[in-house]
Amino acid sequence: MKDRLEALKVEAIEKINQSHDLKDIQAVKVAYLGKKGPITEVLKGMGKLSAEERPVIGAYANEVRDSIQLELDKKQTELENAAISEKLAKETIDVSLPGRPVKQGNAHPLTAVVTEIEDLFLSMGFTIAEGPEVETDYYNFEALNLPKGHPARDMQDSFFITEDILLRTQTSPVQARTMEKHEGQGPVKIISPGKVYRRDNDDATHSHQFMQIEGLVVDQNVRLSDLKGVLETFAKKMFGEDRKIRLRPSFFPFTEPSVEMDISCFKCSGKGCSICKQTGWIEILGAGMVHPNVLEMAGFDSKKYTGFAFGMGPERIAMLKYGIDDIRHFYANDIRFLKQFKNA
Ligand code: 2U9
């Protein structure tokens, strides 16, 4: 029996040495060490042996099994290492090859302009305030000195949801809400960027949804000259240091006095061209001193506090800055349009 075991060991080791891959190894393992293999057979037949022979043969059978297993493990490691070496040799990487270019996107031109304006006012000490796009009649109109029946709050011009709730037509309700939160204590110094909605037929210069950025400063001794200083800084930073500004009288229900600001044309420097329609000036925004009624309704003592406010349309500013001729380009998501603002 010992001879038989010895012969099996020699045979198995020879097969192991002839193995070329992990599959061969597995086959040898099953053939020699499996439940139906010859070594198991030998062990099963031990009952027929004498009491003296049994432990000797048993120990030898275990020894044979262990040495076959050892050889199997050795060969398996050897084959695995060979496979890794082969793979490494085949898959060498040329580190000097140029990388694959990663396409880099860019900000939407409107986002770029809004961010630029925000950064500019942040640098002047303003903070950014936001509020709901679905507003109550009170904050959208009443608190801004537009009482019921006022011609500027024509039902035809707004998206009403109920009699009392609508999509905000301006971002001014954010300012009214912020003032209220201050409980009559200055200073308030905010800008409110955001989407607004008007019932309009869309064309090259109108959209039923567009953006606004409004600003509000309320404190003691705030004057029109402060407004002028802030607006002049804005105009120069946004459209070039050699810009001049001019204020023309205007009317808004929430400001008194109200003005409109023009900048000297950045294209022709005032000589007259198609951008400034031969006038030398371009209208940029509206502004004014906060109406005492608006201050009082938001809880400020209008004898002690004054304020200025301004409002602008970033679409218009972006259109002027980049020569865009149709407001609808901003909302069409046409990649050919959007890709042109890589350096914006
Ligand atoms: C409060 C008080 C006053 C905001 C102002 C304007 C003038 C203005 C328009 C310009 C073009 C909006 O984008 S646009 O359609 N806005 O001319 N906005 S003063 O005045 C306020 C706001 C809030 C409490």
Residues in contact with 45: Cβ distance below 8 Å, sequence separation at least 6, in sequence order: 1
pLDDT confidence bin for 156, thresholds 50/70/90:
low
Q: How far apart are CA 132 and CA 167, in angstroms?
A: 9
The residue whose CA has the least distance to atom 15 of ligand 1 is: 313
* CB of 297 closer than 8 Å to CB of 252: no
Distance of alpha carbon 279 from its chain centroid, rounded? 41
Question: Which atom belonging to ligand 1 lies closest to the Cα atom of 214?
Answer: 4
CA–CA distance from 107 to each of 104, 114, 269 (Å)? 10, 11, 29
Q: How far apart are CA 266 and CA 254, in angstroms?
A: 30
How much distance in Å is there from the Cα of 306 to the middle of ligand 1?
A: 16
pLDDT > 70 fraction of the chain, expressed in percent and rounded: 99
The residue whose CA has the least distance to atom 16 of ligand 1 is: 311
Q: Return binding residues for Mg(2+).
A: 256
How much distance in Å is there from the Cα of 12 to the middle of ligand 1?
A: 93
User: Is any ligand 1 atom within 6 A of the Cβ of residue 285?
Assistant: yes
Note the pLDDT of residue 92: 84
User: Is any ligand 1 atom within 6 A of the Cβ of residue 261?
Assistant: no
Lowest mean pLDDT among 9-18, 148-157, 212-221, 244-253: 148-157
User: Is any ligand 1 atom within 6 A of the Cβ of residue 171?
Assistant: no
User: Is any ligand 1 atom within 6 A of the Cβ of residue 288?
Assistant: yes
User: Is any ligand 1 atom within 6 A of the Cβ of residue 313?
Assistant: yes
- Does the structure show a pLDDT above 90 at 30? no
pLDDT confidence bin for 240, thresholds 50/70/90:
very high
Rg of the chain's alpha carbons, rounded to an integer?
42
Distance of alpha carbon 177 from its chain centroid, rounded? 27
The residue whose CA has the least distance to atom 20 of ligand 1 is: 309
pLDDT > 90 fraction of the chain, expressed in percent and rounded: 62
- Does the structure show a pLDDT above 70 at 155? no
Q: Return binding residues.
A: 256
User: Is any ligand 1 atom within 6 A of the Cβ of residue 254?
Assistant: yes
Query: Which of 54-68, 75-89, 169-183 reaches the highest mean pLDDT?
Result: 169-183
pLDDT digits (tens, 9 = 90+) for 308-330: 999 999 999 999 999 999 999 99
> Per residue, what are the HEC states of the chain?
CHHHHHHHHHHHHHHHHHCCCHHHHHHHHHHHHCCCCHHHHHHHHHHHCCCCHHHHHHHHHHHHHHHHHHHHHHHHHHHHHHHHHHHHHHCCCCCCCCCCCCCCCCCCHHHHHHHHHHHHHHHCCCEECCCCCEEEHHHHCHHHCCCCCCHHHCHHHCCECCCCEEECCCCHHHHHHHHHHCCCCCCEEEEEEEEEECCCCCCCCCCCEEEEEEEEEEECCCCHHHHHHHHHHHHHHHHCCCCCEEEEEEEECCEEEEEEEEEECCCCCCCCCCCCCCCCEEEEEEEEEECHHHHHHCCCCCCCCEEEEEEECHHHHHHHHHCCCCHHHHHCCCHHHHHHHCCC
pLDDT digits (tens, 9 = 90+) for 250-265: 999 999 999 999 999 9
The more confident residue out of 211 and 342 is 211
How much distance in Å is there from the Cα of 200 to the middle of ligand 1?
A: 18
- Does the structure show a pLDDT above 60 at 100? yes
Q: How far apart are CA 217 and CA 179, in angstroms?
A: 10
User: Is any ligand 1 atom within 6 A of the Cβ of residue 305?
Assistant: no
Q: How far apart are CA 141 and CA 243, in angstroms?
A: 35
Residue 8, beta-bridge partner list: none
The best mutation among 172, 178, 197, 205 to test binding of ligand 1, ranked by most ligand atoms within 8 Å of the C-beta, falls on 172
Note the pLDDT of residue 39: 80
User: Is any ligand 1 atom within 6 A of the Cβ of residue 188?
Assistant: no
How much distance in Å is there from the Cα of 172 to the middle of ligand 1?
A: 7
pLDDT confidence bin for 173, thresholds 50/70/90:
very high
CA–CA distance from 8 to each of 2, 5, 41, 68, 182 (Å)? 10, 5, 12, 9, 95
Question: Which atom belonging to ligand 1 lies closest to the Cα atom of 252?
Answer: 7
Q: What is the mean pLDDT of the chain?
A: 91
How much distance in Å is there from the Cα of 255 to the middle of ligand 1?
A: 8
User: Is any ligand 1 atom within 6 A of the Cβ of residue 216?
Assistant: yes
* CB of 188 closer than 8 Å to CB of 178: yes
